[in-house]
Structure 1
Amino acid sequence: MSEEKLYVVEDDNRLHLAFNDAGKPMWFQTGGNFTATDSVASMWSLKHGGHVVTLVEEPEKVVLSEKQAEIVEDAHNAKRPASYIILKSNDEELLMNAYVNGYTVEKDKKYNIKVPHTKEVWYYKSGDADLLTICPADKELRGTFTKAEIEHYGLQDCEKEEVTDDAD
């Protein structure tokens, strides 16, 4: 994974070097001139004082399933986190990356489920146990189902349409 770096010149008081429109150097607590080239920052430092500070872009958080996230959380309480992750998962690199850089939990994909042997009739959930059918004219009323719900209702063999709208 390639890291994007930026460099800034900082003094002992943590002030950052900046240049005004005329090119005159100034020192600011917030802000400063950044460069992607360490040799440019070194030149600024030699000419105007201070030292070069390297800024590294924050790594992206890893996306984990709920089960993987649980392993990473439990690893934080383990005496040997890396060993814990190795024992609990076959995806050590991903989980170690999540342990170090942070993670987000993947949202369950949702699906509309078509009633078999019909032209355009879709399943609809009402409460925890009731499974009804609904015609396509009421598209907003179609039930969205997670994979676990699809298995619970025995709808694995039905035609599925993934719902990409995050409105629910």
Structure 2
Amino acid sequence: MSEEKLYAVKNDEGRYWDFLNEDGFHDFDSVDTHTTYEKQQAEAVADDCGEHVVTLIEEPKKVVLTKEQAEIVEKAHDSGYPATEIFSGTDSGAGEERLLIKAYVNGYTVAKEKRYMVELDGLVTTDGAKQYLTKKDGKWFACRRMPGMHQDFTDEELNKAPEWAQQLDRKEVTDDDE
């Protein structure tokens, strides 16, 4: 988070001082310059007008968590003892605990799980299209890349695939591949 702060002066009616025009308090939408970097300037305006300084800070960035870590943080939010929930839910040590506490306080997003496609080297259709590992209705087979076919797999899915399929090289799917 940046150490720089911005200051605004707000009155009890929810109107803001215009630092550009210095002509009084206005609705937020009609103020040209809402803030100043100068704390003393904001305090002087507030003192002169009998109003108060509002310090604006950057919203902290959300932490990126795994699905499992997010579940721990959710349990902590539902618990009367969040720190205990976080401590008992982790086994990776203080680093993970700090990460989860930061997520508890600042919010979080869940990382997209990596997905992989498996090209079947040397296997092509009669018109020369590459073949990829595909799964449908519990069956594993070869198929060209086709929308709607299950051809992008998580590690967990590939670990449940037949042994021969687990031995094949996998390539991480990017947004360009989808």
| Equivalent residue runs for 1:105-116 within 5 Å | 105-115=110-120
- Contact 1:110 1:162 (C-alpha < 8 Å) held by counterparts: yes
- Contact 1:42 1:52 (C-alpha < 8 Å) held by counterparts: yes
| Equivalent residue runs for 1:12-161 within 5 Å | 12-19=12-19, 23-31=21-29, 32=31, 33-89=34-90, 90=92, 91-115=96-120, 120-127=130-137, 129-135=138-144, 138=145, 140=147, 143-153=151-161, 154=163, 155-161=165-171
| TM value normalised by structure 1 | 0.80
What is the CA distance between 1:166 and its match in structure 2?
7.7
- Contact 2:152 2:173 (C-alpha < 8 Å) held by counterparts: yes
What is the CA distance between 1:99 and its match in structure 2?
0.8
- Contact 2:19 2:36 (C-alpha < 8 Å) held by counterparts: no
What is the CA distance between 1:84 and its match in structure 2?
1.5
Q: Identity rate of aligned residues, in percent?
A: 37
Q: What secondary structure, in the 3-state scheme, does the structure 1 residue paired with 2:8 have?
A: strand
Q: What secondary structure, in the 3-state scheme, does the structure 2 residue paired with 1:115 have?
A: strand
- Contact 1:65 1:105 (C-alpha < 8 Å) held by counterparts: yes
Q: What secondary structure, in the 3-state scheme, does the structure 2 residue paired with 1:123 have?
A: strand
Between the two proteins, the alignment pairs up a number of residues equal to 163
Structure 2 gaps of 5+ residues are 125-129
- Contact 1:63 1:103 (C-alpha < 8 Å) held by counterparts: yes
- Contact 1:111 1:162 (C-alpha < 8 Å) held by counterparts: yes
CA gap 1:167/1:41 in 2 versus in 1, 3 angstroms: farther
In 2, the alpha carbon distance for the partners of 1:26 and 1:80 equals 47
| TM value normalised by structure 2 | 0.76
What is the CA distance between 1:109 and its match in structure 2?
1.2
What is the CA distance between 1:131 and its match in structure 2?
1.3
Structure 1 gaps of 5+ residues are none
- Contact 1:110 1:163 (C-alpha < 8 Å) held by counterparts: yes
- Contact 1:25 1:48 (C-alpha < 8 Å) held by counterparts: no
What is the CA distance between 1:117 and its match in structure 2?
6.4
What is the CA distance between 1:42 and its match in structure 2?
2.4
CA gap 1:9/1:166 in 2 versus in 1, 3 angstroms: farther
